[in-house]
Amino acid sequence: MSTTLKIFLVLAAFALVVPFVPGLIYPVFVMKVMCYGLFACAFNLLLGFTGLVSFSHAAFLGSAGYVTGALMIRFGAHPLGMPAALVLGVAASLLVGLAIGGLAIRRRGIYFAMITLALSQIVYFLAVQFRWTGGEDGLQGIPRGNLFGLDLTSDTTMYYVMLALFSAGFLFVDRIVHSPFGQILQAVRDNEARATSLGYDTDRFKLLAFVLSAGVAGYAGAMKALVFQLVSLNDVSLHTSTEVVLMTLLGGVGTIFGPLVGAALVVGLQNYLATIGDLVTVVIGLIFIVCVSFFRRGFVGEFLHVRRRRAERRARAAPRPEPPPNDAPVAEPA
Amino acid sequence: MSDYALVTEGLTKAFGGFTAVRAVDLKVRRHAIHALIGPNGAGKTTFFNLLTKVHRPTSGRIVYEGADITAETSAAIARRGIVRSFQISATFPKMSVRDNVRVALQRRLGTQYSFWRSMRSLAVLDREAMALLADVGLADYAEANAADLSYGRKRTLEIATTLALDPPMLLLDEPTQGMAIDDVDRIKRLIRRIAKGRTILMVEHNMSVVADICDAITVLQRGEILAQGSYAEVSADPAVKAAYLGGGHA
C-alpha cells in the first residue's frame, strides 16, 4: 500500500467519526474543506505537476456549480437527478476547460496566465448576463435531492455522500499524478524542450492536464453547489481563482496533501475568525507573507523536505556498502 | 534508396534583415559521423534548430530518408527517429536517473496519455532502462536524482536517454562542450560506439574529437558552406585556414 493511501485512510477514518462529535468539528465545515480541498488539488495538478499557472479555476468551479444547481432546481426530485446533475456539471467544466485551455495552451508563463484570466472573466460576465444563472442573485435554494432514493436533506447523510465523492475525486487526482501520463507531465514540467525532443507533443499533454484539472475543479464546484444549496457570482470571480493559488502555496505546491492542508487552513481561518470581519483577509495575508518569506515549500512541502534531509543525513552517517563517489570516473563502456 | 540519410536543399533562415543560414546544401551519408564546424556565429546552432524545427526555415527543403520533413513539428521528427541532444545538458532534473531513461522508453508502450492507469504498468520497462544505464556506466546512480549528477554524467545520462529511443539518426549539439579531458575521451568513445548502424550529425568545437571520430566535415562560415570533405581535405583547405586563423578578415 502506498504511503499516500495510508495517510488518506487515516484521514478518512477521522472524517468518518466527525458527525458523532458535532461539538468538536462542525460537519458542514468539513464538507466545505472537502470542496475547497479538492478544488485546490485540481489547481495543484496544473501548478505543481504540470508547471502551469492558471487564473481561470473559478470559471470551472462556477460553471459546474451553475449547471448542477440549475439542473437540481428543475429535476432535483428525480431519483437520478443528483448524479445526473453532478455528471453534467462536470461535463460543463470540461467543456469550459477545453475552450480556455485550447486557446491559452500555446502561450508560455505569464502570457498563458493572462489569457486564462481574461477568458475566465468572460465566464464571469456570462454568469452575470444569463437568465438561468440568476445574474447578481446567483442560484439559491438548490435542493440536495436524493441519491437513488436516499434522502440527502440531513447534513449527516449528505456528509457521508460527500465524503465518498471527495475520496473518489482525491484518489483520482493521485492516480493522474502517479500514472504513465503523470510521468510525462513531470517530464514536461522539468524540461519541456527535452520532452519534445523525445517525441512527445507537449502541448497535447498540457492541454489534457488542463482539461482534467478543470474537470476536477468542476466536480468540486458541483459538490459545493449541492452542499451549500447556493451558487453565487463569487464562485466564478477572480477572487476565488486567486484564493485557490493561496491555498495551494500555503499547503505545499507539488505535494499530494498540501492543497488539502492549505484549504483547511484558509477555510478554517475564514470560519473561526469570521467574527473579526474583513480582518480575516489581513490575517491570511500576513500568514501568506510569512509563508513565502520563511517556508516557501508550504506546510506539507517543508515537512517533507525536512524529513528527506534527515533521512539523507542518517544514510550518510550509517556505514554502507561502497557506492562510487560522484566524481569517480564512470566505468568504461564495454 | 540514396546513400544519404539527411539532405538539405538551399536551406535558408533570415531573422529580419540578418541571414543566419544561407542556401545550405548539406548531405549526410547514412551511418556516417558528420561534423558541422565553424567559427562562432557561423550559424551552426541555427542550422541545427532548423533541422529540429525549433525555427521554421525561410526557404529551402529538408529531406530525411526520402521524405520531405520541412513542415513537420519537433515531436513528429523525433518520432521519425531524428533525436537531438542539447548544447546544455538536457535531463529531467527532479526525476531519478532510471526514470529519465524510462520516460524515453515509455513512448513505445503507447500509454503516454493513460491517466487512469497505475504507474506500476511502467515497471516492465525497468529492466531495459537499467540495461541502458549499465551500458553507459551509470547503473550505480539509477536511484539518484538527475540533478545531483556531475556535469559529465548528466551528458552521459542524456545519451542513454537518447539511445532508449533507438533512433536511426542523432543530432548532437556540442556533446563535449565544457567537459574535462577524461570526460571528453569517454564521450568520444561512447559516440563512436553508438554510431554503429546510426547516422550522426554533430556540432563540435573540439578538433581532436572531430579529427578522431568524424567521417565527414562541413565547415560553415557566416551562414554559408565554406568547405566540405574529410578531415584531411578540410584542414588543408586555404579558405578554412584563413577563417580559423583570422587571415580572412577584410
The domain ranges of chain B are 4-91+168-245, 95-148
Q: For B201, list phi and psi in degrees, rounded to 5.
A: -115, 125
B115·A181 Cβ contact <8 A = yes
Classified as helix, coil or strand, B9 is: strand
Which pLDDT band holds residue B246 (cuts at 50, 70, 90)? low
Q: Are B204 and B174 in contact (CB under 8 A)?
A: yes
pLDDT for residue B185 is more than 90: no
B66: left (phi over 0), alpha (psi -120 to 50) or beta: left
Round to whole Å and give the CA distance between B135 and A185: 27
Written as nine digits, the cell of B200 is 550522426
Q: For B196, list phi and psi in degrees, rounded to 5.
A: -65, 120
Q: Are A199 and B167 in contact (CB under 8 A)?
A: no
Higher local confidence (pLDDT), A238 or B179: A238
pLDDT, average across residues A139-164 = 89
pLDDT for residue A334 is more than 90: no
Return the pLDDT at B28: 92
Q: Return the top range by mean pLDDT from A71-80, A261-270, A277-286, B221-230.
A: A261-270
pLDDT, average across residues A198-226 = 96
A333·B190 Cβ contact <8 A = yes
Q: Are strands B18-29 and B82-84 parallel, antiparallel or unpaired?
A: unpaired
Which pLDDT band holds residue A276 (cuts at 50, 70, 90)? confident
B135·A205 Cβ contact <8 A = no
Q: Are strands A146-147 and A230-231 parallel, antiparallel or unpaired?
A: unpaired
Q: Are B214 and B189 in contact (CB under 8 A)?
A: no
Closest chain A residue to B185, measured at CA = A332
Q: Are A230 and A4 in contact (CB under 8 A)?
A: no
Q: Are A260 and A212 in contact (CB under 8 A)?
A: no
Which pLDDT band holds residue B237 (cuts at 50, 70, 90)? confident
A197·B109 Cβ contact <8 A = no
Return the pLDDT at B1: 59
Residue B62's nearest CA partner among B98, B12, B17 is B12
Q: Are strands B33-37 and B59-64 parallel, antiparallel or unpaired?
A: unpaired
Q: Which domains does chain A have, with CATH numbers?
A: 3-16+26-314 (1.10.3470)
Written as nine digits, the cell of A256 is 499530494
Give chain A's mean pLDDT.
90
Q: For B34, list phi and psi in degrees, rounded to 5.
A: -115, 125
HSE-up (13 A, CA, CB side) for residue B147 = 5
B114·A180 Cβ contact <8 A = yes
Round to whole Å and give the CA distance between A330 and A327: 9
Q: What is the pLDDT of residues B111-122, one digit of tens each?
A: 889 899 998 889
Q: Among residues 207-236 of chain A, which lie with CB inside 8 Å of chain B?
A: 208, 212
CATH of domain B4-91+168-245: 3.40.50.300
- DSSP H or E stretch at residue A322: none
pLDDT, average across residues B69-89 = 85
Return the pLDDT at B87: 67
A197·B193 Cβ contact <8 A = no
Within 10 A of B25 (CB to CB), how many other CB atoms are there?
13
Q: What is the 3-state secondary structure (H, E, C) of A25-52?
A: CCHHHHHHHHHHHHHHHHHHHHHCCCCC
pLDDT, average across residues A72-97 = 93
Helix, strand and coil content of chain B, in percent to the nearest 5, comes to: 40, 25, 35
Task: Please enumerate in sequence order all residues whose Cβ is within 8 A of that of A118, keeping only pairs 6 or more positions apart, or say none.
Answer: none
Closest chain B residue to A192, measured at CA = B92
Give the mutation candidate from B77, B87, B97, B115 for the A interface (greatest A CB count, under 10 A): B115
Round to whole Å and give the CA distance between B74 and B53: 5
pLDDT, average across residues A93-119 = 95
Return the pLDDT at A328: 46
Q: Are B227 and B240 in contact (CB under 8 A)?
A: yes
Closest chain A residue to B188, measured at CA = A333
Q: Are B151 and B179 in contact (CB under 8 A)?
A: yes
Written as nine digits, the cell of B11 is 536551406
B225 DSSP 8-state letter: E
Written as nine digits, the cell of B209 is 574529437
pLDDT, average across residues A160-168 = 95
Return the pLDDT at B250: 41
Least confident residue range of A50-54, A243-247, B5-9, B16-20: B16-20
Q: Among residues 70-129 of chain B, which lie with CB inside 8 Å of chain A?
A: 73-75, 78-79, 83-86, 90-95, 99, 102-104, 106-107, 109, 111-119, 121-122
Round to whole Å and give the CA distance between A46 and A48: 6
Amino acid at A141: G
Give chain B's mean pLDDT.
87
Q: State what percent of residues in chain B have pLDDT above 90.
A: 35
Q: What is the dihedral of CA A285, A289, A295, A296, to 10 degrees?
A: 90
pLDDT, average across residues B81-95 = 83
- DSSP H or E stretch at residue B59: strand B59-64
B68: β partners: B63
